Amino acid sequence: MFWPVAVVTTAAVPWWYVAALAGGFTLLGAILAQAGSYLIAGRKNRLDDARRFDADVIEIYVQFSEATDVVHNNAGGDPDDERKVFWDLVPPVTASVQRLELIGSRELYRIAERFRIAFLHMAPGDSGDMIPLVDTLEELREQIRKDLRIGAGERPPLRTWRQRRRDAYIDRYLETNDLGPAWLYPWRRWTIKRYVG
């Protein structure tokens, strides 16, 4: 038995909407992918720009700390040697303050400038006091910690999720195997890290 075949015309069914819909979704996906990669790249570039000079800022703080130690240790010695050592330290301290003006925050530069002034008051023959110099150095350290987002006594902020998970596993392993707190056994911690991580 033969069934009658219905005649289907192209005029009755709009066929072009399938292609238009697929093309629209393709374009929408491409636009969303481009926008997402643009936003991610912009954020990464801003973070890289913000972190570029972190090592230099820390190096300048170490230089200031060493200059303070040299002035403190040299005080009360031979006046000629004391004068020579002090004036040899002034140009690097001044150059570091000028460098902080370019790479540091405004608050960091302001504190560094106060440090330079307190340092110049420590010149041999001047009635400078060590306390403002040390206080300004401490304030500079706290501002650097704040600018670089480093907490006092905490782990560095740039740890990955995998590192945190591995460290938690090691801590749990050391504490559950009657070895005591993990911080008492750094050599065991290192040995386990070799095999775990």
111 and 175 both lie in a single domain = no
121 and 167 both lie in a single domain = no
89 and 112 both lie in a single domain = yes
Decide: 196 and 169 in contact? Cβ < 8 Å. Answer: yes
144 and 184 both lie in a single domain = no
Per residue in 13-25, pLDDT (tens digit) is 677 888 889 999 9
Decide: 64 and 93 in contact? Cβ < 8 Å. Answer: yes
Assigned domain for 23 exists = no
95 and 126 both lie in a single domain = yes
DSSP H helical ranges for 104-185: 106-120, 130-148, 161-176
63 and 121 both lie in a single domain = yes
Print the domain residue range for 106.
Answer: 54-148
Residue 196 neighbours by CB under 8 Å, 6+ apart? 166, 169, 170
- d(CA 63, CA 28) in angstroms, rounded, equals 54
81 and 119 both lie in a single domain = yes
173 and 105 both lie in a single domain = no
119 and 183 both lie in a single domain = no
Structure tokens at 56: 């230099």
CB-based burial label for 96 (10 Å; 0-12, 13-18, 19+): buried
Decide: 157 and 149 in contact? Cβ < 8 Å. Answer: yes
94 and 124 both lie in a single domain = yes
Of the pLDDT bands very low, low, confident and very high (cuts 50, 70, 90), residue 80 is confident
* pLDDT for 188 beyond 60: no
Please tell me the total count of domains within the chain: 2
90 and 144 both lie in a single domain = yes
Q: Helix %, strand %, coil % for the chain, to 5?
A: 75, 0, 25
The model carries a pTM of 0.55
Per residue in 116-172, pLDDT (tens digit) is 998 888 887 776 678 888 888 899 888 888 888 766 555 455 556 666 666 676 666
